Structure 1
Amino acid sequence: MSTITLKSHRKAARVTSSGLKLTRRGRFLLLGLPLMLLAVAALVLVGIVTSSAQAATGTTGAGATQVTVQAGESIWSIAAANSSNRDPRDVVAEIVQLNDLKTSVLQPGQQIFVPTH
């Protein structure tokens, strides 16, 4: 058997490490994307803070008046006295929701909000 040898006239390519080269897209992803995510997070945080403040101030709007509970009064009697052509049960439900009442017992001198519409 004979052996065939092939000679190559090409020289071996040199491998050099020139460091990391970022393209325009790479710079955008490395710097721009985290900055945009941080900006979105800041906007979401501002939205959460301001929306809860609006909800807290919106419960005592022009559609409610403040009433001081007298001795012997109940939510039902206050609702019946302040419901104009409305079912007192609906007014009682609104009073409980407006004032975030956990119980139906009212104390004399307690101030509650009653819907006016």
Structure 2
Amino acid sequence: MSTAVIAPNAAVRARQSAPRLRLTTRGRVVFTTLAAAPLVIAALVFSLNSGGAVATLDADENAFVYVDVAAGQSLWNIAEQHAPGQDPREVVAQLVQLNQLPSADIFAGQELAIPASFSR
């Protein structure tokens, strides 16, 4: 029986001659893009579907109390009258902001919106 003996150099040459996979820069970019695309799509889907505001047709009509300003009345008086347990400075600031007043000056006959939570 004859057995073939392969020279050690031939085995080394056979391993070395096998082609190795090498990625070029362009190949790395394509591979990275393909790998990242599902992650980017998933992030977009989650961000577009996450916790949006819900609009309803139900209006809370009691959200505000409307007050007509009497002669000689100030925002400070109104704040003390409608929110006795709170700091009048903060209430005046909220009333100015809520009613979009240019200053704290008000005049007789003016209608002001006051949050109903102050009157409770």
TM-score (norm 2): 0.48
Query: Which structure's CA Rg is the greater one?
Result: 2
TM-score (norm 1): 0.49
